[in-house]
Amino acid sequence: MRRVYLDNNATTPVAPEVLQAMLPYFAQEYGNASSIHGFGQKCRAAVEQARDQVAELLGARASEIIFTSGGTESNNHAIFGVVNAAKAARKHIVTTTVEHSAVLNPCEELARRGVEVTYVSTSREGRVNPEAIAQAIRPETVLISVMMANNEIGTLQPVEAIAAIAAEKGIAFHVDAVQAAGKIPIDVKKIGAPLVSISGHKLYAPKGVGALYVREGTQLDALLFGGRHGRDGRPGTENVPGIVGLGKAAEIARRSLAEEAPRIAALRDRFERGVLAGVPLVRINGCCAPRAPNTSNMIFPHVEAEALVIALDLQGIACSAGAACSSGAVEPSHVLTAIGLGRADARASVRFSLGRFTTGEEIDYALDVIPRAVQRLRGLSPTWREAVVA
């Protein structure tokens, strides 16, 4: 059976060049990057080269890059690190209702510890108004955290305008750029944010590695405590192959972005036009806002998204709906309800996310399969029958 992977926002394959770069660091150059001997020195050099590569992708200095275990740790480090470092008795965080759980759940945990949190709502496109962020700021606000690109609908946030507001008020600003890295240019200086998270596996590097940009001079407490490995203060023996992979992936992303982003955007747009033409009543979530070029989140009214995802998987097409929980079942998406979708529309929404390895032929296959699958599902949907009669 043909397999077409349209779930690149969940994870991406490791790029062949990335895998090649990593391979020597498993069984040949297996040293501990903190060791004094030659084995260690080789690995230290590889880690520091990767740091340069990641810094270059973000327009940062190498000394401002902390390697982490992934996007979740990067976000936790930024949020807990800033809040714990703040000395005030009362503390307040401003974030949005459409953030990833790796931002929302740290905020909720801090709320349980007495920190106040304001969740700013977005437009129906999922875009937050910088003015609304400004209005949510209080004298005790210590952190603003807003994502760069939404993982479910792809909407881009006006992070530069928010960074300007944060800078003016002297408040730390964290940008979760996990879904932006490799898809759109990220220049931390241009954005003006002191904290930016990225994740390896959304960028054709492996799972289990990520990075946090911390602008020099930012007050940030440690998240983890252990051996003083590395110069960035994040303890634990460095994941050398993973870090090397992230470095290589960052280098490729920086080189190929200018070409890749328009190519993927064109494929995505063709995909959307094809679905709109082939399936009645489809609507696109976030269609009118600036969007990540690879993401398409569509409402298929009178279709259970969960069933559509399964039906498509049985025909080799991988896409997603809602948030996966640990059993593999689908839970309703908080993002879709946050942008004002009703329950029925949220349950009928499916995300397709393209990637570097998506081909035009794969899009043709998807456009051949999807309309028929939707038709079958609707044929068995009681609400569709009512809608057709009415």
Residues noted as catalytic: 325
Query: How distant, in Å, are the alpha carbons of 285, 301, 305, 377 from that of 384?
Result: 21, 8, 14, 9
| Measured distance CA(44)–CA(50) in Å, rounded | 10
| Measured distance CA(171)–CA(23) in Å, rounded | 42
For tokens 């082939």, name the residue: 278
- Among candidates 72, 159, 83, which has minimal Cα distance to 114? 83
> At 161, phi and psi to the nearest 5?
-65, -40
Instruction: State the CB neighbour count (10 A cutoff) for residue 372.
Output: 13
Length of the chain as a residue count: 390
Q: Which 3-state string (H, E, C) describes 273-327?
A: HHHHHHCCCCEEECCCCCECCCEEEEECCCCCHHHHHHHHHHCCEECECCEECCC
In the complex, the smallest distance separating the C-beta of residue 11 from another protein, rounded to whole angstroms, is 18
Nearer to another protein, 1 or 258 (CB): 1
| Measured distance CA(204)–CA(16) in Å, rounded | 9
Rg of the chain over CA atoms, in angstroms? 22
In the complex, the smallest distance separating the C-beta of residue 281 from another protein, rounded to whole angstroms, is 17
Nearer to another protein, 50 or 335 (CB): 335
**Where does this chain bind another protein (CB under 8 A)?**
304, 306-307, 310-311, 313-314, 325-331, 376-377, 380-381
In the complex, the smallest distance separating the C-beta of residue 327 from another protein, rounded to whole angstroms, is 4
Nearer to another protein, 380 or 388 (CB): 380
In the complex, the smallest distance separating the C-beta of residue 140 from another protein, rounded to whole angstroms, is 31
In the complex, the smallest distance separating the C-beta of residue 104 from another protein, rounded to whole angstroms, is 17
Nearer to another protein, 198 or 305 (CB): 305
Nearer to another protein, 17 or 304 (CB): 304
Nearer to another protein, 148 or 308 (CB): 308
In the complex, the smallest distance separating the C-beta of residue 326 from another protein, rounded to whole angstroms, is 6
What's the token pair of residue 322? 């809602």
In the complex, the smallest distance separating the C-beta of residue 285 from another protein, rounded to whole angstroms, is 20
3-state secondary structure of 120: strand
DSSP result, 209-273:
-EEEEE-TT-----S--SS--STTS--S---HHHHHHHHHHHHHHHHHHHHHHHHHHHHHHHHHH
Task: Measure CA 336 to chain center.
Answer: 16
> At 77, phi and psi to the nearest 5?
-60, -45
Nearer to another protein, 157 or 381 (CB): 381
